[in-house]
Structure 1
Amino acid sequence: MSSTAAHRGAYRRVLAIGLPLVVSMGATTLMLFTDRMFLGNYSLDAIAAAMPAGIASFAILSFFIGTAGYTGVFIAQYTGAGRPQRVGAALWQGVWFCLLAGVFSAAASLLAGPLFALAGHPHDVRVLEEPYFRILMLGGVFAILDAAFSGFFTGRGLTRVVMAVNLTGAILNIPLDYALIYGAFGFPELGIRGAALATVAGGAVSAALFTALIFTQKNERLFRVRSAWALDRDLFTRLMKYGLPGGVQFFLDIFAITFFVFLVGRIGKEELAATNIVFSINTLTFLPMVGFSVAASTLVGQALGAGDPDAAHRDTMATLRLTLGYMTAVALLFVVFPEVFLVLFRPRDLDAAGYAAITATGVWLMRFVAVYSIFDAVGMILFGALKGAGDSRYLMLSMGGAAILVMILPTYVAVETFGAGVYAAWAFLTAYVVALAGLMWLRYRGGKWRRMRVIEGAG
């Protein structure tokens, strides 16, 4: 095969696997975006509370989600190696982990009071943060199960199924979100509690759909999804060996952002609201990019399972070029038309003049997003490639080191010791994203990932 034909084939594979994931993540983006928009319109305190509480809950869940997500890496490599009979066993090890993780998630809901008391946010915000966090943690098992269940399809390259499930969840979640926040269609007005309940309900629907689609007679015949339910000590141990560092890495990344948001909340309510709004807008760029990152992970996993690291590299580079093109276009929109996005979040209890200060801050923050989004594209795609190879320990150490040294400590010192404002905090956030992109590039270029495998050799 010629070099040109090989590259065309790489683009076709990336688009076939990646576009449904982008649409899928777009559905999740739309859910989160409308959730924040509804809350922003509902009240200033609601939008100020939603991001810290939401990201705090996700920070805890991220450890479990990151670990469960490695189920898809195992399934991708078993698929590439031509060993479908091991797919069901790999899935079940992930499911057993998810159920145990759900118990810890529910127990973590008890942290709501002390956690937000420690944050030091204004009282009006704190009384909304606590119930939002509590409800999300009680229903966290559905988000964790989603990470393992979706891996059954993404690991085999069947991303349209994941797209269909997530689109169904979005279609159900958005009107339910509106109804429970505002008290429409016969539902009670629950405000921020309603937003949390709608999120949990959407996750439960997705988990139910995945269960119905996975555990069929056909899949039992092909992959042993029913009969391979027992705990496989060797396979479970290997899932934990690679998955736990992945979970720690994901947690550290989200913890860094959580810590950042909490620090901004100590600067002031308007700064916190502007940051929360811009982060909500940023999901428009970030989650679709996650779709391409998962595609890179799947393609690399399958190629390495088949013993073809050159194909893995071609697919990774094709994914990176496509993602950079998308992110560049979005970054230009954020620079040229920031007010178009910001106006969507104006609270109904705040007039245009009162919202003007938040808008002015938001315009500058969106310029930070435009800058770091390009670097984020590089970091996310190479991260996906390294994850697909099973390089979870490096991902954990590099992300943890960058989070502590480049963002958490400098931001804390700047805000708490020198009284720095929101722009200084965002400068350190941007530096963190740039540092991660550099670390991912150096590791990928080193080539060690080419020799990595998470699955056992064929017996």
Structure 2
Amino acid sequence: MESVVAEKPPLLDESRGNWWTRPAGAKEVLYVALPLVVSSLSWTVMTFVDRVFLKWESGVAMAAAFSASTLWFALLCLPLGICMYCATFVSQYYGNHQYSKVGPAVWQGAWISLALTPLMMLAIPLAPFVFGLAGHEPDVQNLEIRYFQILCYGIPAMLLAQAFSAFYAGRGKTRMVMCVDSGVAILNLVLDYFWIFGKAGFPAAGIDGAGWATVTSLWVKAAIYFLLLTQQRHRREFHSLHWAFDGDLFRRVLYYGAPSGFQLVIDVLGFTIFIMLVGRLGAVEAEATSMAFSIATLAFMPIWGFAQAVSILVGQHLGENRDDLSARATWTLLQISLCYMSFISALYLFVPGLFLAPFFGSIEAASTQEQVWNLSVNLLRFVAAYNLLDATLMVFVSAIKGAGDTPFVLKVSGIMASTMAFASWMAVEVWHLGIYGCWALLTCWVWTVGIIFCMRFLSGKWRKMRVIEQKAFDPALEPVQP
């Protein structure tokens, strides 16, 4: 869907600029991106330490928590994707200086998500059936079901927090997002330690304690963002408490946000099926895969922060009708992302023990420990093999989504995720390729999707797309926003 694009403002004088200082250069993009990277890393570190704590409890608990949390995330991806896409509306309205539309855009996403919450909560009684389909061992299934059911009580909080955070992220005020998310992550870690091992008066609840720690932290996070959103200056300047239903805006948020949400659902569901099928290969394979993916988040989540920044900057510059700056911001962040991915991939290849050692603090049979360690080392080599294309994929997907090209993203994700799920099933059940064959398929899949989205970005169709109704404006006449 495309909107009428207003005449471009005069080009800026960029003769004095360089890669660092020019408009949409490294200085500008890192100002927006680095707080989001820290925010993403805070969640990553929290999840990583949570897995380490559960590994100390037992390897079975760690593997169960990983598969259950992955399915839980897949469950809420649709409304979560809609909430996240509110940041694109905020960024384009903010770039186009339509400040009164910022608050209402946030609330439309919140209402859509809350309307879907009761439907998602039906997963609680269905959990035994769903996890029974995976065919895991009974003790693993029991832990998966309990952990999943507990996490479901945090779904409304997760969605509200994401919608409300779009108010700050979409305007490029990402330091506030960093502070809130990092603070809540620290709270979660403290509660994890207390609730898993029974410290400071908490019961020693093991995997259940880890689940309740996450749920509690999510509700605290939602409450903080709501209080920030309702500040008087935001109510005055951005109509942040205009939560009334807006039919036209609601439909547009749904039109663009739903494909983005479905794309998340499809991608995560594809990975979830992969994880579930690999779990059938054996306990060692399941534990090593869980460990390798947990470590891989150290590479993935910072790029996720860069990708969020790409979407925000593309939206803001398109709101200004400067698609040239949108493209430049994308390429700048891709360059930075590839440098980071190259560094972390080298660490995976040459010092994998740096990442694996924290998981082996519990006392288990030495032979099992050695098998899991060796297999995890080899799986990290696969992660290193697809990391650069994974970064390319995330950056270009976020760029075209920031413009409104979500239907194309949905189509590609639907085809590719279905292909991955089917190929994984064939690899495990028919071809009997084993753990390395499954991971080779995963690597080829990432390469293919990365190339597809790179070609879509290069086609330039996104440059004329908008998700908002544009108005002409003179930046010199607009007030400077805090």
TM class, shorter-chain normalised? over 0.9
Deviation at 1:112, TM superposition (A): 0.8
2:432 to 419, 422, 433: 419
Deviation at 1:341, TM superposition (A): 1.3
Q: 2:387 maps to which residue?
A: 373
Query: Is 1:256–2:270 an aligned residue pair?
Result: yes
Letter in 2 for 1:332: A
Q: 2:55 maps to which residue?
A: 40
Q: How does 1:194-233 map to 2 (within 5 A)?
A: 194-226=209-241, 228-233=242-247
2:410 to 376, 381, 396: 396
Partner Cα distance (2:243, 2:259) in 1 = 24
Query: Is 1:56–2:71 an aligned residue pair?
Result: yes
TM-score (normalizing by structure 2): 0.93
Q: How does 1:118-137 map to 2 (within 5 A)?
A: 118-137=133-152
Partner Cα distance (2:246, 2:133) in 1 = 42
Determine if contact 2:59/2:287 at 8 Å carries over to the other structure: yes
Q: Deviations over 1:101-160 (max 9, x none)?
A: 322232222221100111100011001000101111121111112221111111000000
Letter in 1 for 2:225: F
Q: 1:76 maps to which residue?
A: 91
Deviation at 1:276, TM superposition (A): 0.3
Query: Is 1:146–2:161 an aligned residue pair?
Result: yes
Q: 2:250 maps to which residue?
A: 236
2:41 to 23, 26, 37: 26
Deviation at 1:456, TM superposition (A): 1.7
Determine if contact 2:400/2:406 at 8 Å carries over to the other structure: yes
Deviation at 1:12, TM superposition (A): 1.0
Task: Look up the SS of the partner of 2:280 in the other structure.
Answer: helix
Determine if contact 1:43/1:349 at 8 Å carries over to the other structure: no
Runs of at least 5 residues in structure 2 that lack an aligned partner in the other structure:
1-12, 473-482
Q: 1:5 maps to which residue?
A: 17
Deviation at 1:347, TM superposition (A): 6.0
Query: Is 1:444–2:460 an aligned residue pair?
Result: no
Q: 2:80 maps to which residue?
A: 65
1:292 to 302, 306, 313: 306
Q: Deviations over 1:45-86 (max 9, x none)?
A: 101211111101111111111121111000000001011010
CA RMSD of aligned residues (A): 1.3
Structure 1 stretch displaced more, 103-112 or 313-322: 103-112
Letter in 2 for 1:161: M
Query: Is 1:353–2:370 an aligned residue pair?
Result: no
Partner Cα distance (1:3, 1:378) in 2 = 29
Task: Look up the SS of the partner of 1:24 in the other structure.
Answer: helix
Q: Is the helix fraction higher in 1 or 2?
A: 1
Structure 1 stretch displaced more, 345-354 or 330-339: 345-354
Q: Deviations over 1:2-51 (max 9, x none)?
A: 36716433211111000011111111111100111111111021012111
Deviation at 1:340, TM superposition (A): 2.1
Letter in 2 for 1:36: R
Letter in 1 for 2:364: L
Q: Deviations over 1:300-350 (max 9, x none)?
A: 000001100000011111000011111100000000011221121126241
Partner Cα distance (2:399, 2:84) in 1 = 14
Task: Look up the SS of the partner of 1:267 in the other structure.
Answer: coil
Determine if contact 2:96/2:470 at 8 Å carries over to the other structure: no
Letter in 2 for 1:152: F
Letter in 1 for 2:56: N
% identical equivalent positions: 41
Determine if contact 1:109/1:138 at 8 Å carries over to the other structure: no
TM-score (normalizing by structure 1): 0.97
Q: 2:10 maps to which residue?
A: none
Determine if contact 1:48/1:273 at 8 Å carries over to the other structure: yes
Partner Cα distance (1:6, 1:204) in 2 = 44
Determine if contact 1:44/1:349 at 8 Å carries over to the other structure: no
Q: 1:98 maps to which residue?
A: 113
Task: Look up the SS of the partner of 1:69 in the other structure.
Answer: helix
Determine if contact 1:43/1:347 at 8 Å carries over to the other structure: no
Task: Look up the SS of the partner of 1:129 in the other structure.
Answer: helix
Task: Look up the SS of the partner of 1:185 in the other structure.
Answer: coil
Q: Deviations over 1:221-249 (max 9, x none)?
A: 100112x2110011000000001111100
Determine if contact 1:136/1:196 at 8 Å carries over to the other structure: yes
Task: Look up the SS of the partner of 2:17 in the other structure.
Answer: helix
